[in-house]
A and B are shown apart, each in its own frame.
Chain A
Amino acid sequence: MLSSMKKFFQEGSKDLKRIYKFVEDVNRLEGKYERYSDLELSGMKDRFKSVLDAGDILDIQAEAFAVVREASKRVLNLRHHDVQLAGGFVLSERGIAQMNTGEGKTLVSTLPSYLHALYGNGVHIITANEYLARRDKELMGQIHEFLGLTVGLNISQMGPSAKREAYAADITYGTATEFGFDYLRDNMVYRREEKVQRGHRFAIVDEIDSILIDEARTPLIIAGRASDGTELHQITAQIMKTFIENDDYEIFIESRSAYFTDQGASKIEEAFGIDNLYGMEHQELLHNVTQALKAHAIMKLDVDYIVIDGKIAIIDKFTGRVMEGRSFSDGLHQAIEAKEGLEISEENETQAMITVQNYFRLYHTMSGMTGSAMPSKSEFQEIYQLPVIEIPTNEPIIRVDEVDLIYKDETSKINKIVTEVKRIHDGGRPILIGTTSIEQSEKISVQLEKGKIKHQILNAKTEEDEAEIIANAGQKNQVMLATNMAGRGTDIILGNDVKELGGLHIIGTERHESRRIDMQLRGRSGRQGDPGSTQFIISLEDDLFDYYDEDEIGRYIKKIKTDENGLVLSPAPDKFVKMVQETVEQMHQSSRYHLLKLEHALNEQCKIIYTMRDRILGMEPGRMSAILLEYIEKYITRLVKYYPEPDSSAFIEELSPVFLSLGWQASDLQDLEGQIEGKALDALGELESRLVIFQDDAEWGNQVRAFMLQHIDTNWMNHLDEMNSVKEGIGLSGYGQQDPYALFEKAALSQFNLLLSKIESEISIRFMEYMESNQEDAAALEGEER
């Protein structure tokens, strides 16, 4: 067996040596567990746990894998292949296993999830969508339940108690978005019992490249509170309709941004009767018109978004599917609604925000699987310290990937696609045509119809329908048009006789900005040693080339020689396309680094605030006055530090709420020269003694808790909004010789210090005011009694 594994892995490394040895260990244990009864197998859980308590995970790793393999054989009649054991090993050791489509990644995840669930801190398995979460939980969950573990499903629309139950399970299935939102919601609760998650120990992320790389630019945002910008959005959208590209604004396709020219800015100034659009006092208008311009010039109907039932729905660029429940942030959604003449939805203010990447950084151990990690190997290593290990296929791949055909224009390209489809279809072979958008699919569909080729467009309403339809793409005579990532996670199984015909043929109609997505498309053919073929038929007019330097494209096009059908023959079209694709990929990678660097500071701040919250949440009611006094003390100390001459009248004024709350008279505060600091600390002592009476008052303690959390939360939300505008600024301005990230970090830090002092002072002052009014009430009451 060792030799057969060695054959699988081409390159030798010390990692791989360990993997061979491990697989061999697991295989050697197979006979042992075959002889175990069902009961004995499920009892292994407790034995493993006791070993873990005293020792190391490595002591039980091979045994645990062998137990899972045996359970799977009994429950699902599926035996983990050697390569699946190898994949499981990589996941267990905090790595990314690159495994091809059809290699049974879902089954692989059962191995490390069982092992790590033995720690008792929960294992989270992240799937690409909720349909897959449900499917995997129902299927793979059977193995875990057989082995005595509990399994939960975490999906949207579930209430907190159902969620709490799902998280309490040993293994929980769900999507990244849902896990991330739960985390954000958990950090907005007022009582610890309201939280649903119980920590972040171990996560296995399926399609990890799509989560950590492709979705890098869409943070998860919880928003609330409406604002009243409706009419202004309509006005700015109207103004944009009169604007002309290059005269009034310029577009930068590479960064998907647009800026006003001087003329454009003057037109806006004229429209609103203001002097300088870029003046400090007009930041809000500038923001609004900038979003209106983006909606007008960059965001395209049916490419970036669609309109359903009078509402804007975002299209996921990678799947072509509608992203349920997401909206564009920062007023862009409203700007697009205004552009399309729709009713304007409520604009929201950010209450909590996290990027999916930063969410996963919370985990003690994270690992992942995908069919396409290798092209981003260095990015995974550098940013997430996750090594990528390529796991060989169980059967050798016999799929033929033909060289790209590159046409000079879109018409020639589509003509070729239609003739190719016709040629292959005549033989009965199934064909899957991968497009980059629904718009593209429809364009090609029209041409196929003209050619009288019966075909199906995959444009399903739900992920479940989509999976069902695409599963049929391997049937004889089938021609199917689908966006690149549609129905991911679903195998395309070949129909009868299709193998003999040569298997599934895939036509890619555009090279994607990321080679990984191309790889995934190709991977849908030739699964588990099946025959198959793939080819990209593209044109120099494809979107990919828009991202590349216009002049260089122009120079290349001048030099090209084509045949009579428009096929580019020279100079070296495949090399040119490869170079463009790599450049674009590089560009996206840098913009991800940029974002990540900016996010870093904010993420650290977020953790500090959430720790502050957690401390307050976890406090016994009786300890609340102590924590409150701590905040007040910090506030006073900060003030003392801030005023170098502590006896200044400004200082006394700032401190007066503290004194007045104790019922001291203004006259008491005069002639305090030289003693103000001591006096302030005395005040604190007196306050402390007054709060003693609340020690056993749980209700009071809980009120103080809610009061403090509320002040932390509102200030944090404002801070998030402010930091967002600082971030915008970083993108816009030039900095001479200065490092923009260092500048941002500096700005972020000083804003954060301001935030902390605001929280402390607000809590102190508001509390003092409350004490003072209480005092008055008490006095009034006393008066009445007399």
Chain B
Amino acid sequence: MSLFGKRDNAAPDVHELLVQDDTVHTALMFHKGWEISKQEEYVYKFHHQRLPALKPNQISISGIKLTRVEDDVIIVAFLRNSIEKAVRFDIVDLLLVDGDGKFLAKKTFDLTELGEIPALSSMPWSFLFEEGDMLAESIPDEGWKIAFEWKRK
């Protein structure tokens, strides 16, 4: 996978508890640069709790909130890592799709500033899709999904 680079050093095994029955319940982490209030922290905790468990060794993204700012949309999503090692992202393409899998928007993001997502963890991040990134007439309030566009080599 060219999408992200694995860190060399092994993750500590403190997250063993998170791995149960072949599924992984990630732990919630916040980026150091995120200044959030206690209330917002609980909002993320709540959304994080409701995410489905992951299979081991997956990287995934789950959107939780869509906010419109004029013609742009901001998507808040959890980046999730069920690998027993920390991961780093660099350049990724993200898609917004509707319930039928139709593309709504697409944009390339540089996620190097995100730093490292520890083993078996989820981290919320926000993604701005501008007017020029839109592929559809409009973005619905409900039923949208955010996903990685996997590139074939």
Contact = CB atoms under 8 A, between A and B. Distances in A.
Interface of A: 227-229, 231-232, 235, 270-274, 284-285, 288
A292 B40 CA distance: 16
Secondary structure at the A interface, as helix, strand, loop or mixed, is helix
Contacts of B37: 227-229
Given A227-B37, A273-B28, A284-B38, A232 B43 contact: yes
A285 B49 contact: no
A227 B43 CA distance: 14
Nearest to B47: A235
Given A229-B37, A272-B42, 8 more contacts: A228-B40, A229-B39, A232-B39, A232-B40, A271-B46, A271-B49, A273-B45, A274-B45
Contacts of B45: 272-274
Query: Of B28, B37, B38, B48, which is in contact with the most chain A CB atoms at under 10 Å from its CB?
Result: B38
Contacts of B43: 231-232, 235
30 contacts: A227-B37, A227-B39, A228-B37, A228-B39, A228-B40, A229-B37, A229-B39, A231-B40, A232-B39, A232-B40, A232-B42, A232-B43, A232-B46, A235-B42, A235-B43, A235-B46, A270-B49, A271-B46, A272-B42, A272-B45, A272-B46, A272-B49, A273-B28, A273-B45, A273-B48, A273-B49, A274-B45, A284-B39, A285-B38, A288-B42
A236 to B, nearest CB: 9
Interface string B39-77: 110110110110000000000000000000000000000
Nearest to A281: B38
A285 B40 CA distance: 11
Secondary structure at the B interface, as helix, strand, loop or mixed, is helix
A285 B45 CA distance: 11
A743 B94 CA distance: 58
A240 to B, nearest CB: 13
A283 to B, nearest CB: 9
Contacts of A235: 42-43, 46
A229 B40 CA distance: 7
Contacts of A288: 39, 42
Interface residues of B, number: 11
A438 to B, nearest CB: 34
A565 to B, nearest CB: 54
Contacts of B42: 232, 235, 272, 284-285, 288
Interface in B6-59: 28, 37-40, 42-43, 45-46, 48-49
Contacts, number: 37
A288 B46 CA distance: 13
A499 B76 CA distance: 73
B117 to A, nearest CB: 18
A755 B37 CA distance: 24
A270 B45 CA distance: 10
A91 B25 CA distance: 72
Contacts of B46: 232, 235, 271-272
B78 to A, nearest CB: 13
Contacts of A232: 39-40, 42-43, 46
A271 B49 CA distance: 6
A274 B40 CA distance: 15
B42 to A, nearest CB: 5
A762 B37 CA distance: 24
A284 B46 CA distance: 14
Contacts of A271: 46, 49
Contacts of B49: 270-273
Contacts of B28: 273
A272 B28 CA distance: 11
A284 B39 CA distance: 8
A227 B36 CA distance: 11
Give the 9 A-B CB pairs with smallest separation, nearest first: A229-B39, A273-B49, A272-B45, A232-B39, A231-B43, A284-B38, A235-B46, A285-B42, A232-B43
A231 B76 CA distance: 13
A288 B41 CA distance: 13
Nearest to B50: A271
Nearest to A231: B43
B103 to A, nearest CB: 28
A288 B43 CA distance: 12
Nearest to A347: B39
B13 to A, nearest CB: 21
B35 to A, nearest CB: 11
A204 B38 CA distance: 47
A229 B42 CA distance: 10
Nearest to B36: A228
B43 to A, nearest CB: 5
A235 B40 CA distance: 11
Contacts of A284: 38-39, 42
Contacts of B40: 228, 231-232
Query: Of A231, A270, A271, which is in contact with the most chain B CB atoms at under 10 Å from its CB?
Result: A231
Nearest to B40: A228
A270 B40 CA distance: 17
Nearest to A272: B45
Interface string B119-142: 000000000000000000000000
Contacts of A270: 49
A272 B40 CA distance: 12
A533 B40 CA distance: 60
A231 B48 CA distance: 14
A231 B37 CA distance: 12
Nearest to B38: A284
A140 B28 CA distance: 68
A229 B39 CA distance: 5
A229 B28 CA distance: 20
A432 B48 CA distance: 58
A341 to B, nearest CB: 15
Nearest to A233: B39
Contacts of A231: 39-40, 43
B19 to A, nearest CB: 16
A284 B49 CA distance: 18
A369 to B, nearest CB: 47
Nearest to A239: B46
A691 to B, nearest CB: 38
A679 B37 CA distance: 43
A338 to B, nearest CB: 13
A665 to B, nearest CB: 36
A659 to B, nearest CB: 34
Contacts of A285: 38, 42
A228 B44 CA distance: 13
Nearest to A274: B45
A273 B46 CA distance: 7
Query: Of B37, B40, B43, which is in contact with the most chain A CB atoms at under 10 Å from its CB?
Result: B43
A631 B59 CA distance: 58
A235 B42 CA distance: 10
